[in-house]
Amino acid sequence: MAQLFFRYGAMNSGKTIEILKVAHNYEEQSKSVIIMTSGLDNRDGVGYVASRIGLKRPAIPVFDETNVLEVVKQTNPDAACVLIDEAQFLKKHHIIELAHIVDELHIPVMTFGLKNDFRNELFEGSKYLLLYADKIEEMKTICWFCRKKAIMNLRFHDGQPVYEGEQVQIGGNEAYYPVCRRHYFFPPEINKVRN
12 is in an annotated binding site: yes
CA distance linking residue 84 with residue 94, whole number of Å: 11
Mark whether 121 is an active-site residue.
Answer: no
**Catalytic pick among 86, 97, 174, 189:** 86
81 is in an annotated binding site: no
31 is in an annotated binding site: no
106 is in an annotated binding site: no
CB 177 within 8 A of CB 154: yes
Q: In what order do the strands lie in the sheet with 4-8?
A: 60-62, 33-38, 81-85, 109-113, 4-8, 135-138
Which has the closest alpha carbon to 121: 83, 77, 91, 165? 165
11 is in an annotated binding site: yes
Task: Considering only the C-alpha atoms of the chain, give the largest distance between any 2 of them, rounded to a whole number of Å.
Answer: 53
14 is in an annotated binding site: yes
180 is in an annotated binding site: yes
CA distance linking residue 154 with residue 120, whole number of Å: 9
Q: Which residues are annotated as a binding site for Zn(2+)?
A: 143, 146, 180, 183
Q: Which residues are annotated as a binding site for ATP?
A: 9-16, 85-88
Catalytic residue numbers, as ranges: 86
Q: Which residues are annotated as a binding site?
A: 9-16, 85-88, 143, 146, 180, 183
